[in-house]
C-alpha cells in the first residue's frame, strides 16, 4: 500500500471538478478546476475509430455534445471538433490531458472499452504514458482488459472497478462456475488497488483486498458528506462529485 501513497494522498474528483452546467465532466475546464482546488483527477477513456485514446465517458456523444453518434465511429480529429453542450470546451485526447496536468496531480484513468479482442486503447495508452512523468493509474470493470494491460505494460499501475453483483443466476452450480471464472480473471489481472461502489460498502471483496492483500481501496462515487463518512470507514480514499470534501 505504501507504494501507492500518491493515489491516496488527496480526494479524487470524479470526471474532474464539474457542475453539470457551466463546467462539464471530462473537459479541460473540469480538470483545471480540480487542479486549482488541490484534488486528484478521475477520468474516462474511449477509443476513436483510428485508435486514439479520447477522454470521454459515454460510448455515444448525444448526452453531452452537439453530435449524436458513437465515439468509435469517428476519427480523433473529428471528435476534437465536437463541442460540448453549453460550453466552449471540446473533447481532448489522453496526451492532451497529460499536457494539462503536467504531473501536478494524480490521474486515475478508467478504460471504458471492452475486452477481449480490441487492444488499440491499451496500445495507445502505453505509448502516451511512456513519456509522462506524473503519477497515473489505470482501472476498469473489465478484469480481462486489466490482464491485457498487465501483460503489455506491467509498469503501468492498474486496478479493478467493482460493485455488488446483483445479476440473477439460475442455479447454485452455475453461480459457482461464475464465481470461479471471476476469481480466475481477477488473478490474471493482479490489480494493485480496488475501486468499489460506496453504496455497496461494507463488502467482502474490498475488505479482503485491503486487510489481507494490503491493496488500497477507493470508494466511488461519493456524492454527499454522509456517504463520505461511510466511505472513510471501509476505504482509503474517495472518488467524489456534487460536493467538496
pLDDT in tens, 25-73: 999 999 999 999 999 999 999 999 999 999 999 999 999 998 899 999 9
Over range 235-239, report the average pLDDT.
98
Q: Is the pLDDT of residue 154 over 90?
A: yes
82: DSSP letter: P
Burial class for 126, CB neighbours closer than 10 Å (0-12, 13-18, 19+):
middle
Which three cell numbers, joined as nine digits, stand for 100?
Answer: 494539462
Residue 179's pLDDT band (boundaries 50, 70, 90)?
low
Q: Give me the pLDDT at residue 173, please.
A: 44
Residue 234's pLDDT band (boundaries 50, 70, 90)?
very high
159: β partners: 139
pTM: 0.93
**Inter-axis angle of helices 28-37 and 94-101, nearest 10:** 30
Q: Is residue 245 included in any domain, yes or no? A: no
* Structural domain of 34: 2-240
Contact 187, 153 (CB under 8 A): no
Burial class for 136, CB neighbours closer than 10 Å (0-12, 13-18, 19+):
buried
- The sign of the torsion formed by the CA atoms of 163, 147, 149, 76 equals negative
What does the alpha-carbon distance between residue 77 and residue 144 come to, in Å, rounded to a whole number? Answer: 29
Q: Is residue 200 included in any domain, yes or no? A: yes
Name 48's Cβ contacts closer than 8 Å, sequence gap at least 6: 54, 71, 72, 74, 75, 76, 79
Q: State the pairing for strand pair 217-222/107-111.
A: unpaired
What does the alpha-carbon distance between residue 25 and residue 188 come to, in Å, rounded to a whole number? Answer: 32
Q: Domain tally for the chain?
A: 1
DSSP per-residue codes, 9-70: SS-EEETSS--SSSS-TTSHHHHHHHHHHT-EEEEEEEE-TTS-EEE-S-SBSTTTBS--SB
Rg (alpha carbons) of the chain, rounded to whole number? 18
User: 139: domain CATH number?
Assistant: 3.20.20.190
Q: State the pairing for strand pair 107-111/40-47.
A: parallel
Q: Residue holding cell 479493478? A: 160
Q: Count the Cβ atoms, other than its own, within 10 Å of residue 168.
A: 5
Q: Is the pLDDT of residue 178 over 70?
A: no
Over range 7-25, report the average pLDDT.
95
Segment among 122-126, 133-137, 185-189, 226-230 with least mean pLDDT: 185-189
Dihedral-angle region of residue 242 (phi above 0 means left; psi in -120 to 50 means alpha; beta otherwise):
left
Q: Is residue 215 included in any domain, yes or no? A: yes
Amino acid at each position: 500500500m505504501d507504494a501507492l501513497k500518491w493515489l491516496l494522498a488527496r480526494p479524487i474528483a470524479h470526471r474532474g471538478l464539474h457542475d453539470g452546467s457551466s463546467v462539464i465532466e471530462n473537459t479541460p475546464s473540469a480538470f483545471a478546476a480540480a487542479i486549482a482546488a488541490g484534488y486528484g483527477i478521475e477520468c474516462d477513456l474511449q477509443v476513436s475509430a483510428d485508435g486514439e485514446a479520447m477522454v470521454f465517458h459515454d460510448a455515444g456523444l448525444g448526452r453531452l455534445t452537439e453530435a449524436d453518434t458513437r465515439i468509435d465511429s469517428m476519427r480523433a480529429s473529428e471528435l476534437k471538433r465536437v463541442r460540448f453542450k453549453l460550453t466552449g470546451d471540446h473533447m481532448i485526447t489522453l496526451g492532451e490531458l497529460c499536457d494539462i496536468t503536467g504531473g501536478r496531480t494524480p490521474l486515475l484513468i478508467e478504460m471504458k472499452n471492452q475486452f477481449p479482442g480490441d487492444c488499440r486503447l491499451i496500445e495507445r495508452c502505453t505509448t502516451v504514458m511512456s513519456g509522462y512523468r506524473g503519477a497515473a493509474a489505470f482501472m476498469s470493470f473489465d478484469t480481462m482488459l486489466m490482464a491485457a494491460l498487465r501483460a503489455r505494460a506491467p509498469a503501468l499501475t492498474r486496478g479493478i472497478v467493482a460493485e455488488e453483483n446483483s445479476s440473477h443466476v439460475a442455479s447454485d452450480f452455475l453461480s459457482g462456475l461464475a464465481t470461479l471464472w471471476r476469481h480466475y480473471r481477477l488473478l490474471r489481472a493482479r490489480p494493485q488497488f480496488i475501486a468499489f461502489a460506496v453504496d455497496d460498502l461494507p463488502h467482502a471483496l474490498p475488505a479482503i483486498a485491503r486487510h489481507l492483500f494490503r491493496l488500497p481501496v477507493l470508494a466511488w462515487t461519493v456524492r454527499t458528506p454522509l456517504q463520505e463518512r461511510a466511505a472513510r470507514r471501509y476505504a482509503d480514499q474517495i472518488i467524489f462529485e456534487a460536493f467538496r470534501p
